[in-house]
Amino acid sequence: MPASYLPDMDSTTPELTTAQTRIRITTRKRRVTSLRKPARVQEALDFWSFAGAAANVVMQLGWPEVAYGVMESKVESGALMKHPWKRARTTAQYLSVAIIGSDEEKAAFREAVNSAHRHVKSDEHSPVKYNAFNRELQLWVAACLFIGIEDTHQLLHGKMDEADADEFYQSAKTLGTTLQVPDDMWPATRADFDHWWNIACQRTVIDDETCDFLNDLVDLKMISPLIRWPFVNLLRFLTTGFLPPLWQAQLGLEWTEDDRRRFEHLFTFVSVVNKFLPKWIRFGGNRLLIKDLQLRMKRDKDVI
């Protein structure tokens, strides 16, 4: 990976470890999974892949430039706290298009996102400088998306061996290249990515304003109480469980080893249920999102 694409860090900053930057997964590889071909990200794009969606947004906003780009965004129609369902649909649709969309669909979505991103840049009042077209910021967001999908896949199917993990990683490159991240900017190997990730996570700094914003997100306060309250404890449990220790610590979230085991056991149960669900249920949501995009393109409607 070109050195210019590695985040600039103070040489005195202590190097982070995977134990700090990734969630711990001890689930053994399921025997039925081991008989399959090497895992690819397309196989992980079922509705369970969105279980950690809120946590993934929290991770993305760990970089101050991304956090203030979201909190200060002048694109009111896509504001996370004002239009959470539209924002969720847009993010889920991006994942679907980036992973299983055609070149034409990728191009249409890229142009739509670019139109929105043109308005996302810092001004003289912003505490940090940012621009949504910054490729390094886009690489960070894409990397967070990859981490979320991989974590969910391994919770459901067990830890991948080195060969499967690299195959899975290589198939996920379009999470970044669908926007402005050039092909050679995506770390070449899984080992390169792990090195880059630990360095990149050193730039995670959550100030008081961002901490309040993210804790509201963890508690899903942007969603109607009628929907949120029956599930608030489960949703907070899932969100906290999908956050690596680095983010848990900066947000002041408590997470014990017993919590971690319950988290894994929950997904072990889900994986059993998953075997009995037909593919059209598990993958249907993403197909519908692609169909929705195709209709918007055909009718010349706004894509996002």
Which pLDDT tens digit goes with each residue over 249-302?
999 999 999 999 999 999 999 999 988 889 888 888 899 999 999 999 999 888
Q: How far apart are CA 129 and CA 124, in angstroms?
A: 9
Residue 28: inside a domain: no
Residue 116: inside a domain: yes
pLDDT value of residue 171: 94
- The pLDDT tens digits of the residues spanning 192-216 come to 999 999 999 999 999 999 999 998 8
Residue 4: inside a domain: no
- The pLDDT tens digits of the residues spanning 174-187 come to 999 999 899 999 99
Contact 14, 178 (CB under 8 A): no
Q: Which residues fall within 8 angstroms of residue 167, CB to CB, at 6 or more apart?
A: 38, 39, 40
pLDDT value of residue 48: 85
The answer on pLDDT for 222 being more than 90 is no
Residue 98: inside a domain: yes
Q: How far apart are CA 145 and CA 60, in angstroms?
A: 8
- The pLDDT tens digits of the residues spanning 148-157 come to 999 999 999 9
| Total structural domains within the chain | 1
Residue 50: inside a domain: yes
The answer on pLDDT for 245 being more than 80 is yes
> Beta-carbon neighbour count of residue 209 at 10 Å?
13
* Cα 123 to the center of its chain, rounded Å: 27
Q: How far apart are CA 55 and CA 74, in angstroms?
A: 23
Query: In the structure, what pLDDT confidence band is assigned to residue 4 with cuts at 50, 70 and 90?
Result: very low
- The pLDDT tens digits of the residues spanning 69-125 come to 999 987 766 566 677 777 788 888 999 999 999 999 999 999 999 988 888 999 999
State which residues form the domain around 276: 38-298
Q: How far apart are CA 304 and CA 296, in angstroms?
A: 9
Residue 8: inside a domain: no
pLDDT value of residue 159: 92
As a whole number, mean pLDDT of residues 45-58 equals: 89
> Beta-carbon neighbour count of residue 265 at 10 Å?
11
Partners of 131 in the β-ladder: 121
Residue 22: inside a domain: no
Residue 182: inside a domain: yes
